[in-house]
Structure 1
């Protein structure tokens, strides 16, 4: 199921940043990764919305 989802466009995944699994590594290499923490979560959320609003 996840493999077939990777072929689609306009996806937003959430993964644990420190997770170590081949599928997660593939996602990290193939897609834009946003690292979100308490200090930047509002600005990153705005950036993500702008990115998806363009598509």
Structure 2
């Protein structure tokens, strides 16, 4: 799917891209400030915010 943000994914694309989606959301480090989706790399989110560890 290239480097589309998760916000740009269309609902009908998700079932066909589950393998890629699993990799993107595994062990998330960022959350989108616009839509609250999460990802392990900020490139997949339109307004990425770093998730903090419990100790922070």
| TM-score, normalisation: structure 1 | 0.30
Higher helix proportion, which one? 1
Higher strand proportion, which one? 2
| TM-score, normalisation: structure 2 | 0.30
Q: Which has the larger radius of gyration?
A: 1
Higher relative contact order (CA 8 A, sep 6+): 1
